Amino acid sequence: MSRRRRHDKYKKASELNIIAFLNIMVILIPFLLVTAVFSRTNILELNIPSSGPANLPLDAKADMQLVITLRRGGIDIGDTVGGLIKQLPKAAKGYDFRQLSKILAQVKLRFPEKKNAAILVEPDISYEFLVQTMDAVRSYEQVTGATVERAELFPEISIGDAPAAE
């Protein structure tokens, strides 16, 4: 009989206690959601020129294409139809991106429908200067009354290699 009692003792199914696990989950899930870092990624779409020849329609060749050339000695602003618009020499403190934005704002007043611009960069130019140039070409700060607003200039940017200086 004692043998039977011992055998029955081992046959009883034990209950699984999950209350402690549920308590941990009830506390852990809100904690993780509150402390999670939700990052925001900005993506800038660029147009990279192809290596083949450009097949443009005849009327598109006569259209103004804004070209900003970033060189070691300064910034050249021009277009494919009229040539050089303005040269901004590099000062001792660096490039004058504020003046670049002002000139591009004047160009935007003459061609309000234009949204695209090409930035040509010499090989030795720092990536930081390229990004600052892109920011100056995309928009500028416009003061209206007591507020400063960002106005759109040329948001569709193409990037390429600058031709050799003359």
Q: What is the DSSP string of 85-112?
A: EEEEE-BTTB--HHHHHHHHHHHHHH-T
pLDDT at position 10 = 61
For residue 25, is it within any domain?
no
For residue 82, is it within any domain?
yes
For residue 10, is it within any domain?
no
pLDDT at position 68 = 92
For residue 40, is it within any domain?
no
pLDDT per residue as tens, the chain (166 positions): 555 556 555 666 677 888 988 999 999 998 888 887 766 666 666 666 655 544 444 444 457 788 999 988 899 998 877 788 888 888 888 888 888 988 998 888 888 888 888 999 998 888 899 889 998 889 888 887 788 888 888 888 888 888 877 6
In sequence order, what E strands does the chain have? Answer: 46-47, 66-71, 74-79, 83-89, 116-121, 139-144, 147-152, 156-161
pTM here is 0.61
For residue 18, is it within any domain?
no
pLDDT at position 49 = 60
- Determine the Cα–Cα distance for residues 103 and 158; give it in Å rounded to an integer: 19
Total number of domains in the chain: 1
For residue 13, is it within any domain?
no
For residue 45, is it within any domain?
no
Q: State the residue range of the domain holding 108.
A: 63-161
The CATH number given to whatever domain includes residue 77 is 3.30.420
For residue 131, is it within any domain?
yes
pLDDT at position 59 = 44
Helix (H) or strand (E) holding 7: helix 2-11
